[in-house]
Structure 1
Amino acid sequence: MIRVLDKLLLFIYSLAIGVVSVLAFSAAFHWLPEKWINDMTRDLYGNVKWLQVTVIAVSAALFLLSVRFFYVSLRRSHASAPSIDQRTEFGDIRISLETVENLALKAAGRQRGVKDLRARIHLGEAGIDITIRAIVDGETSIPVITEDIQKSVKSHVEEITGIPVSVVTVFVANIIQTANYKSRVE
């Protein structure tokens, strides 16, 4: 949510700075009438309260946005690749979620009748939650193939990583239509 807000603020900031720079550029090349600039300056220093309030509000907003972006640019990003951290007697072990995802795909891909796979990994309370999305050939029983995928993925990931797998969910998205061509004899 904060990243979306920062992107929106950056867009507004860029737009405002762009408008100010075009006005300054135009004034420097005398593309704006001198009377218009003199009238604007006189109104700003005169009794035109709405103009004074508007300039103060826009200037304050741009200053606050500048401070925000300065802070964001100096802030250290602690965002690294999501991983599962374990501590052993010899030190720390970090296994990326991408590694676990690839292990799950490898185990699921060994099953016959599976044509296309995708995996998502979530860290749950009792271990890893793995969701496998599969497209199957339509020749194999779906309950049998999904159970085989679940068993295979659970045992393979637990064996390789040492991390308990709490749930393996298999979502069969579709089946592949195999083309059966019958030869025609005349």
Structure 2
Amino acid sequence: MNFFDRLLLGLYSLSMVILFVVVGLVAAGWTTPLDLLEFALFKQDQRIAVGLVAIVFILISLKFLINSFGTKNEVMHALIKESAMGQVRITVQALENIVKKSVLQVRGIREVQPRIISRPEGIGVFIHVIVAPDLAIPQVSDEIQEKVKENLERIAGVNVHAVKVLVENIATDMKVRDRVN
């Protein structure tokens, strides 16, 4: 869902919440909104404005309804190779698993959360890690970047544009599980 659709959905949802709060208050006996609605529909200009607002809400509702039946449920993938025989694709989840395996080979890594972004110039890899307290973060980050780039290019055949590492936290326990290559 793009930014415009998210913004539209947010505004639509907020409007629906306000509308149903007012409907609930009217059902509980509050009569002021009914008086305002009667006043809004009394004059021709005001009826046109209310009608236009209703049409906008109907169109937004139809857009969301049509989008809900769309065929955009296909698995996200990255194009690896195209030949006369066809295309070879690999899922983002498979790429993330390669990243996890690569990062966990680095000594002192506790947790890994990768995210893959496919771009025309290659894939971007964003990695959140939790490391052991006794590690030098610059050296560990360099090692992670090298291993991830090397393994993705070797195993999956993808062009790696960038590997960014965020050390999200330092583990508080002193037990360091060394990973074996």
Give the TM-score normalised by the residue count of structure 2.
Answer: 0.69
Residue from 143, 148, 154 that aligns with 2:149: 154
- 1:73-120 Cα distance to aligned partner (Å, 9 max, x none): 235535344321242332223322232122101210121111122222
Structure with bigger RCO (C-alpha 8 Å, 6+ apart): 2
Equivalent residues, number: 165
Q: Does 1:117 align with 2:120?
A: no
1:136–1:174 Cα contact (<8 Å) kept: yes
Work out the CA distance in 2 between the residues paired with 1:22 and 1:170.
51
The corresponding residue for 2:178 is none
Structure 1 counterpart of 2:51: 59
Partner of 2:166: 171
Preserved CA contact (<8 Å) 2:131 2:167: yes
Relative to structure 1, is the Cα distance of residues 19 and 108 closer, same or farther in structure 2, using a 3 angstrom cutoff?
same
Matches within 5 A, 1:6-155: 6-13=9-16, 15-16=18-19, 49=43, 52-75=44-67, 77-80=70-73, 81-86=75-80, 87-155=82-150
Paired residue for 1:5? 8
- Aligned residues: CA RMSD: 3.5
8 Å CA contact 1:113–1:137 kept in 2: the answer is yes
State how far apart, in whole Å, the 2-side matches of 1:132 and 1:71 are: 36
Amino acid at match of 2:79: D
Please state whether the residue corresponding to 1:112 is helix, strand or coil.
Answer: coil
TM-score using structure 1 length: 0.67
C-alpha separation in 2, matches of 1:67 and 1:55: 18
The CA distance in 2 between the partners of 1:175 and 1:19, in whole Å, is 49
**Aligned partners of 1:158 and 1:61: how far apart in 2?**
54
Moved more, 62-71 or 111-120: 62-71
* Contact map agreement 1:157 1:165 (CA 8 A) in 2: yes
Aligned-pair distance for 1:146?
2.2
Q: Residues of 2 paired with 1:19 and 1:142: CA distance? A: 55
Note the residue ranges of structure 1 that are not aligned, 5 or more in a row: 181-186
The structure-2 alpha-carbon separation of the partners of 1:146 and 1:3, relative to structure 1 and needing over 3 Å to count, comes to: closer
Q: Which runs of 5+ in 2 are unaligned?
A: 176-181
Report which of the two structures shows the higher radius of gyration computed on alpha carbons.
1
Identity %, equivalent residues = 25
